[in-house]
Amino acid sequence: MIRKLKSGQYRLYSRKKNPRTGRRRNLGTFPTREAALKHERAVQYFKRHGK
């Protein structure tokens, strides 16, 4: 999930909420939406293939 910040940057959040805090985990902040999308694809890949 990508949200635009007031600063103009984009932040990548986890898809699920953290049950302890009720908020989404911050997975990084990026200057462009394209960079955030690229990183999101990498995150999804490593969720299934990474160790």
pLDDT in the model for residue 24? 96
Domain residue extents for the chain:
2-49
Please give the model's pTM, rounded to 2 decimal places: 0.83
Per-residue tens of pLDDT for the chain, all 51 residues: 999 999 999 999 999 999 999 999 999 999 999 999 999 999 999 999 976
pLDDT in the model for residue 40? 96
H helix runs in 1-51, sequence order: 33-49
pLDDT in the model for residue 50? 79
pLDDT in the model for residue 19? 95
Q: Is 10 exposed, middle or buried (0-12, 13-18, 19+ CB in 10 A)?
A: buried
